[in-house]
């Protein structure tokens, strides 16, 4: 079945440093979504990418979908303590109504 891996599993940064998480699928995706889960909370939808090579920005967050539609990345510029949480990518493969979630990257930000 489809597998979606993320690296790193965990990253600890100082506030103001940049952060990147990478997402790799074993199969080509029709689209990819990103979610954020704060500690003790539930996943919250951030964004969706659909086109090959697509890049989208949300303030300090930059999302990219690979040319082959099998990988994606999330980059956060100048992290803040409010960025703390686990970031998940999730891909739609053959069935549009089902998502396969990545393993997640937990981000810790300290002052």
Partner 1 sequence: DAGITQSPRHKVTETGTPVTLRCHQTENHRYMYWYRQDPGHGLRLIHYSYGVKDTDKGEVSDGYSVSRSKTEDFLLTLESATSSQTSVYFCAISNSGTLSYEQYFGPGTRLTVT
Which residues would be at the binding site for partner 1 (CB under 8 A)? 1, 6, 9, 31, 33, 41-45, 48, 88, 90, 92, 96-104
Q: What is the DSSP string of 58-86?
A: ETTEEEEE-TTSSEEEEEESS--GGG-EE
Nearer to partner 1 (CB atom), residue 31 or residue 64 = 31
Task: Determine the Cα–Cα distance for residues 75 and 91; give it in Å rounded to an integer.
Answer: 18
Write the CA distances from 6 to 16, 20, 110, 111, integer angstroms.
Answer: 23, 11, 22, 25
CB 102 within 8 A of CB 6: yes
Structure tokens at 97: 């109504």
Considering the complex, what minimum distance in angstroms separates the CB of residue 60 from partner 1?
A: 21
Nearer to partner 1 (CB atom), residue 31 or residue 71 = 31
- Between β-strands 10-14 and 105-110, what pairing exists: parallel, antiparallel or unpaired? parallel
Considering the complex, what minimum distance in angstroms separates the CB of residue 92 from partner 1?
A: 7
Nearer to partner 1 (CB atom), residue 24 or residue 77 = 24
Considering the complex, what minimum distance in angstroms separates the CB of residue 21 from partner 1?
A: 12
Nearer to partner 1 (CB atom), residue 16 or residue 30 = 30
Considering the complex, what minimum distance in angstroms separates the CB of residue 93 from partner 1?
A: 12
């Amino acid at each position: 079945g489809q597998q979606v891996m993320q690296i790193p599993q965990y990253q600890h940064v100082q506030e103001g440093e940049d952060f990147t998480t990478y997402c790799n699928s074993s199969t080509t995706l029709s689209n990819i979504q990103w979610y954020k889960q704060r500690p003790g909370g539930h996943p919250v939808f951030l964004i969706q990418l659909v086109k090959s090579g697509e890049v989208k920005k949300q303030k300090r967050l930059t999302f990219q979908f690979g040319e082959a539609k099998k990988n994606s990345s999330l980059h956060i510029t100048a992290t803040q303590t409010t960025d703390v949480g686990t970031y998940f990518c999730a891909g739609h493969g053959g069935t549009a109504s089902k998502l396969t979630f990545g393993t997640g990257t937990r981000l810790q930000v300290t002052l």
